[in-house]
Amino acid sequence: MKIFALADPHGNMRLLREVLDEVEREQYDVFLGLGDFMSKRFFSKLVTGLDVEKKSFIPGNRDYGMKKLPYLKNIDSFDYENIRFVMVGSHHFPDLKKKVIERFEDVDPGKVIIGSHEPPQRIRDEIHSGARIGVPEFREIIDEKQPLAWLCGHVHEAEGVSTVGNTKVINASASQKVMGYRLIVEGDEIKEIKRLER
C-alpha cells in the first residue's frame, strides 16, 4: 500500500500541480489530507484531481468557512487492506481521546494509522520559540495504544520523522522544499517513509 500524506498546503496552486503529478506518476493507493488547505478552489481541485482508491481530508485550524465542504470531515475512519485509518481535524470536541480510540478499539493498534492536523504533545510540536504546542490527548493515545503511525502537520518548523515506542510520528508539513511524505506499508509493517522534495 502506497500512502501520500499532505499537510499545510496553504492554497499553493504550484504545490497542487506537483502533488497531483506525483500521485499520478507513482500510483498511490491512499491520500491523506491533513488540513490547512485555506482555499476552496485549491481543495476542490485537489479532491477532483486525485486518482486514488481511498482519500480522506480533515480541516486544519486555518480552514475557516470550509467545514461544510464535501469530503472534509472533522473525524473519519476507514479500512484499506488490513490497516484502519483514523482522521481527526482541528475542530476538537469533548471527549477527544475517547472518540478517537472508539474508532479503532475493535482492531490491533499495531494496524492503525492516525492522521491529525496538530501533532501529539512533545513530538514534532516545537515552534521557533521553543514552546511545545502539541495535543496532550494525542500523546496519551500514542503512549497507551502504540499505533503503527501518526501523521500530522501544523508546526511547519517541526517537519520530519520521530519514533515513540513502536509508533512512527511524521510531521508532513509542506514548505518551499517539501511536498509531503510517502509511506509504503506491507502487511502491518512500514517499509518506507520518504520525504518528498519539491
Using alpha carbons only, give the angle 40, 46, 51 rounded to the nearest 5 degrees. 150
Helix (H) or strand (E) holding 179: strand 178-186
Q: What is the pLDDT of residues 29-56, one digit of tens each?
A: 999 999 999 999 999 999 999 999 999 9
The residue among 163, 161, 146 whose CA lies nearest residue 110 is 146
Q: Distance (Å, rounded) from C-alpha 77 to C-alpha 88? A: 9
User: DSSP letter string over 101-122?
Assistant: HHTTTTS-GGGEEEEESSPBTT
Domains of the chain, first to last:
2-197 (3.60.21.10)
CB 61 within 8 Å of CB 118? yes
Within a 10 A sphere around the Cβ of 167, how many other Cβ atoms? Answer: 23
Q: What is the pLDDT of residues 121-157, one digit of tens each?
A: 999 999 999 999 999 999 999 999 999 999 999 999 9
SS3 49: helix
Look at residue 8 in the predicted model and tell me its pLDDT: 98
Look at residue 5 in the predicted model and tell me its pLDDT: 98
Quote the pTM value: 0.97
Q: Which residues pair with 163 in a beta bridge?
A: 168
Look at residue 88 in the predicted model and tell me its pLDDT: 97
Look at residue 94 in the predicted model and tell me its pLDDT: 87
CB 35 within 8 Å of CB 10? no
